Structure 1
C-alpha cells in the first residue's frame, strides 16, 4: 500500500489495514501506529477488568510454568540495569502484571514498587507481598508516587494511546541521572517481512486495538532523544520468527507455540546453568546489531 492518510494530527503512509484500523508510519510521532487511535477510557476499562481475564486468561498459568526462566531472564536484565546505573537503587515497574519482575528486583535488594491497572494482576501482586499501586500511571499517580532511580516498562508502550506523554511522566518521576528501561515488541522487523512479503503469511503481529504502536531500535531512540534521554544500551530477545522460517508455524497453534517457547527457554537456561551466560549475551548482542529479536530493549539516561 502507498496511500497516505490523516487522522486528527497524525498522518503518514498506510502500511497495512486491519478491519477498521490503518497502520501508518506517523510523520509527527516518528513511529508506526494505528489510526484511529482507540479511546483512552475504553482502553482503561479493558486493561482494568478484561485483559488478564478474557484476553490473556492463561498468562499467570504460563508464567508459573516458566518461573525458573523468568527468574533467570529478569536477573540478567536487572544485572544489565545495574551496570548502566553503576549501583542498585529504587525501581518503578509500570505495568507490573503478575509481579514476576518486581518480585525478582525486591529479592535482589532493589527498592521496588509497581503500578498495575488490572484488578486480577494487582491482587496477585499483593498476595505476593509486593508494593503495587492499583491503577493507571497518569499525572495524578506521577505526582504522588515519589522519585526513582529506574523506571521499567515491559510490554507497555505498544498498548498506549499516547506513549509520548507516558515517557514524559516517567521523566518526571526519575531522579537526576536516572534510567528508563523500555521493552517492546520489535515489529516490522526483517524476519517478519520475509514471512509476510516473501512467504505469504499474514502480518500476525498486528493486533488492534490492543497493540496500537510499533517500534524498533531507531524509532525508540528517536523518541527518547526527543524527550531528553540519552540512549545507553540496546539489546534484543530471542527472534521467535526463526521458528516460523524453520517450518514451525505456531501462529494458529498455541500448543506448538508453547513447544517453540520451551526450546527457546532450554537454550537460555542451559547456557545460564552451565555458567556460559556470556555466550548467550554475545549471541544476542550480534542479533541486536543485525536488527533481529522478538523484543527491542532500550536503556536510556535522563539528561539533567
Structure 2
C-alpha cells in the first residue's frame, strides 16, 4: 500500500469516507475522490484480474438481458456521431455491448484483463482481443479506431491520465471516446451511505464532470457532450423491496434462445432501465448518477 496525492493538484486532502479499513480523500477544488493509501500496480491489476467483489466468471459469461438494454441505449447515442467503423471496448466482460455493436454494423475489438473472459470473447465472437490491463500502453499499437468505449472502468485505472493518453494515441483523428462512470465526486456526503457498493478497494478514483473535463484536457481531449442518469429511483425502489440482489440476478437472464426469458423478468429489467436511463435523466445532477461522456481530440 502506498500513499497517494490528488492527481490534479498534487496535494493530500482530508479523509472523505472510510470503509473496511480503506480511506478515500476528496479534493474539493476539483471534485475528485481518490483512495489513499492505494495498492501498488501489481496488486491493483491482480484485483482487476480476480475481481475483488468476487463476481464469478460464470455470471459474466451468461448472456445478460439488462446489459443489452444499456448497450442499445449507448449505441443509439454513438450512432448520432458515428454510423459505423472500428470500435474498441475496454473491459467488455461477457461481451454484450460488443454483440450489440456488431449487429449495428461496427467492426469490434476488445481489451480484457481476465484471460478466461478474453479467451471466451475470442472464441464466441471471433474478434481480436488483447489480454492485458486497461492501464497498459501496449495494446493494439498498429491499429487505430473510430470509437473507443468503456463502462465502469475508469475508477479502476492506476493512472487515468496515462490511460487517456493511450486512448488518444489509438483513436483516429476524427474518432470519439465514449465512456460511462459515476458522479460520486460531486455528490453531497448525505448520499454516501446510499451508494455503499461504490466503496470497495478496487475503486481507486471517483469522478465528477469537473474532474473528468480536467483529465480529458490534460490528455489532449475535449468533452463534446455528456448525459446524467440518476440512479436514485432505482436504488430507492431496490432498497424498499429489499430485492436488489434478486433484481441483479435476474439481469443474468439469457436472451440468445438457449434459455427462456420470462415476461416477468423482461418487465423487471425494462422497469430498471426506465428508472435509470429515462426517468433518471431529469432528476437533479448532484444526486448519485451514472454519466455517459463523449470526447474527441482537441481541434
The answer to whether the superposition gives a TM-score over 0.5 is yes
> How far 1:40 sits from its partner (Å)?
0.9
Q: What residue in structure 2 maps to residue 168 of structure 1? A: 165
Q: Which runs of 5+ in 1 are unaligned?
A: 1-5, 272-278
Task: Pick closer, same or farther for the CA change 1:243–1:153 going to 2, 3 Å.
Answer: closer
From 136, 139, 142, give the equivalent of 1:141: 139
Cα deviation, 1:148-171, whole Å, max 9, x if unaligned, reads: 111111111111121111111101
Q: What residue in structure 2 maps to residue 113 of structure 1? A: 109
From 225, 228, 241, give the equivalent of 1:236: 228
Q: What residue in structure 2 maps to residue 15 of structure 1? A: 16
> How far 1:206 sits from its partner (Å)?
4.0
Could you tell me how far apart the structure 1 residues matched to 2:72 and 2:103 are? Answer: 10
> How far 1:22 sits from its partner (Å)?
2.0
Specify which structure has the bigger relative contact order, considering alpha-carbon pairs within 8 angstroms and separated by 6 or more residues: 2
Task: Pick closer, same or farther for the CA change 1:58–1:119 going to 2, 3 Å.
Answer: closer
Q: Which runs of 5+ in 2 are unaligned?
A: 253-264
Q: What residue in structure 1 maps to residue 51 of structure 2? A: 51
> How far 1:203 sits from its partner (Å)?
6.0
Cα deviation, 1:211-251, whole Å, max 9, x if unaligned, reads: 11111222222321232222122123451465437852749
**Aligned CA-pair RMSD:** 3.4
Could you tell me how far apart the structure 2 residues matched to 1:28 and 1:173 are? Answer: 31
Judging by fraction of residues, say which structure has more helix. Answer: 1
2:72 aligned with 1:75, yes or no? yes
From 266, 270, 273, give the equivalent of 2:270: 266
Instruction: Decide whether the 8 Å contact of 1:177 with 1:303 is kept in 2.
Output: no
- Normalised by the size of structure 1, how large is the TM-score? 0.77
Q: What residue in structure 2 maps to residue 60 of structure 1? A: 59
Could you tell me how far apart the structure 2 residues matched to 1:27 and 1:42 are? Answer: 28
Could you tell me how far apart the structure 2 residues matched to 1:99 and 1:246 are? Answer: 26
Could you tell me how far apart the structure 2 residues matched to 1:130 and 1:93 are? Answer: 12
Instruction: Decide whether the 8 Å contact of 1:113 with 1:132 is kept in 2.
Output: yes
- Normalised by the size of structure 2, how large is the TM-score? 0.78
